[in-house]
């Protein structure tokens, strides 16, 4: 991976290949930091922070304050904002502390207390509660795993999905003859709900409950 830190306030930029440059045993601190790079598949990402601190050059971890990040996924950029987090540039992962706000060009909006993003697999994992909106509707859960490139989100633990029929052509949803815009909302609850937007499918597992127009099915 090639990492390009831009030290904005000092107007200094340099290109570093971590496999070729000797390690300096000293602490690094940058105000107004901006990092741009590529993952192992050549896809772009960027991170900015009010402050970036690498406590020791022996650890490939940079602690970030007031961070914003973006990553390229199949349907356009995804963006993240948070008060703090850490970037491990050896394994291409960002661990972010909340509240974390996430927005993607494919229609996803999420708010969670913490999330880990793998820049290589374009996978985001949140384990401290999540709520948000997807093309399928609004959702909440105790945990979530999102595969951003494939538009798949798995909600786990008291998973809830509130949607209008027709938002996805999922065969497991109740059918009605009225146009989708006039049908009452459908509320899905289960231990696990997996939404696959590209294949227009919703899978539910464990303590499944589907309600529509206040009638339990």
Q: Which residues lie closer than 8 Å to 185 by C-beta, 6 or more apart?
A: 137, 162, 163, 164, 212
For residue 178, pLDDT over 60 is answered with: no
Q: Are residues 5 and 70 in the same domain?
A: yes
Query: What pLDDT was estimated at residue 182?
Result: 62
Residues 64-102 pLDDT 10s:
999 998 888 877 888 999 999 998 988 889 899 879 999
Residues 110-161 pLDDT 10s:
899 989 989 888 898 998 899 998 877 899 999 999 887 788 899 999 999 9
Quote the CA–CA distance of 98 and 51 in Å, as a whole number. Answer: 17
Residues 42-63 pLDDT 10s:
778 888 899 888 888 778 898 9
Q: Which residues lie closer than 8 Å to 193 by C-beta, 6 or more apart?
A: 139, 141, 154, 155, 159, 160, 161, 202, 203, 204, 205
Domain assignment present for 205? yes
Reported as a pLDDT band with limits 50, 70 and 90, residue 37 is: confident
Residue 165 burial (10 A CB sphere; 0-12, 13-18, 19+): buried
Residues of the domain holding 165: 129-217
Query: What pLDDT was estimated at residue 66?
Result: 94
Residues 23-35 pLDDT 10s:
444 467 788 888 8
pTM of the model: 0.72
Q: Are residues 83 and 160 in the same domain?
A: no
Q: Are residues 216 and 137 in the same domain?
A: yes
Q: Are residues 83 and 154 in the same domain?
A: no
Query: What pLDDT was estimated at residue 170?
Result: 42
């Amino acid at each position: 991976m090639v990492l390009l830190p831009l030290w904005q306030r000092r107007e200094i930029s340099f290109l570093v290949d971590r496999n070729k440059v000797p390690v300096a045993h000293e602490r690094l601190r940058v105000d107004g930091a901006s990092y741009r790079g590529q993952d192992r598949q050549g896809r772009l990402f960027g991170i900015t922070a009010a402050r970036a601190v690498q406590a020791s050059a022996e650890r490939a971890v940079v602690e970030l304050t007031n961070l914003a990040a973006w990553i390229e996924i199949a349907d356009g950029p995804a963006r993240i904002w948070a008060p703090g987090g850490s970037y491990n540039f050896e394994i291409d992962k960002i661990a972010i502390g909340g509240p974390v706000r996430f927005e993607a060009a494919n229609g996803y909006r999420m708010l969670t207390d913490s999330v880990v993003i793998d820049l290589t697999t374009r996978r985001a994992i949140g384990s401290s509660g999540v709520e948000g909106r997807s093309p399928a509707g609004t959702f909440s859960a105790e945990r979530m795993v999102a595969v951003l490139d494939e538009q798949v989100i798995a909600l786990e633990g008291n998973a809830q999905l509130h949607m209008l029929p027709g938002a996805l052509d999922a065969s497991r949803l109740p059918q009605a003859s009225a146009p989708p815009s006039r049908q009452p909302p459908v509320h899905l609850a289960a231990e696990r709900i997996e939404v696959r937007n590209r294949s227009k499918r919703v899978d539910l597992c464990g303590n499944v409950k589907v309600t529509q127009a206040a009638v339990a099915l």
